[in-house]
Homo-oligomer: A and B are copies of this chain.
Amino acid sequence: MSNIAIVEQFIAAWNRVDLDAVCALMTDDVIYHNMPMDPIEGLAAARQVMEGFKTEQIDWQMLNISEAGNVVLTERLDRFRYGDKWLELPVMGAFEFQDGKIKVWRDYFDMNTYMTQIQAITGAT
C-alpha cells in the first residue's frame, strides 16, 4: 500500500470515529504534533488526546494530497460536528512513515480559528 493510500485510510478511519483503526496505522513511538502546541510522544499518549475530541461526527475533507520520498503532504478541511453545529478547521498536515505506518504527524492550523468556533458552539468563554 502506498503512503498516500495509508493516509487516505487514516483519514477514512477518523471519519468513522474508529480510533482502533486510527491507532493501528501509527507506530508505537509516533509523534503527534499539532504545531501550535507541544508534540505528543507515543501512541498511548496520542490516543488519550484523540479520545478527548468528544465530537459526535467527523468529516475531514481531503482537498489535496501528494508525496515526496517518505513524506505525504495534505491540505484538508477538518470538520467536527457538535449537536447540529459543525466546526470547520482549515488544516495542512505532513505525515512521515516507517515500515508502512505513520511515525510523525504534524498538523498546521490557526488555534484561534478553532477556539473561537468551539467557544461559540459550547458557550464556553
Contact = CB atoms under 8 A, between A and B. Distances in A.
A36 B114 CA distance: 10
Interface residues of A, number: 25
Interface string A89-125: 0111110000000000010111111000000000000
B66 A91 contact: no
Contacts of A74: 73
The number of times this chain is found in the oligomer is 2
A32 to B, nearest CB: 15
A56 interface: no
Contacts of A112: 36, 110-112
A68 B113 CA distance: 27
A48 B4 CA distance: 38
Interface of A: 35-36, 63-68, 71-75, 90-94, 106, 108-113
29 contacts: A35-B90, A35-B110, A35-B113, A36-B110, A36-B112, A63-B94, A64-B71, A64-B73, A64-B94, A65-B68, A66-B66, A66-B68, A66-B72, A71-B75, A73-B74, A73-B75, A73-B92, A75-B92, A75-B94, A75-B108, A90-B108, A91-B108, A92-B92, A92-B94, A108-B109, A108-B110, A110-B110, A111-B111, A112-B112
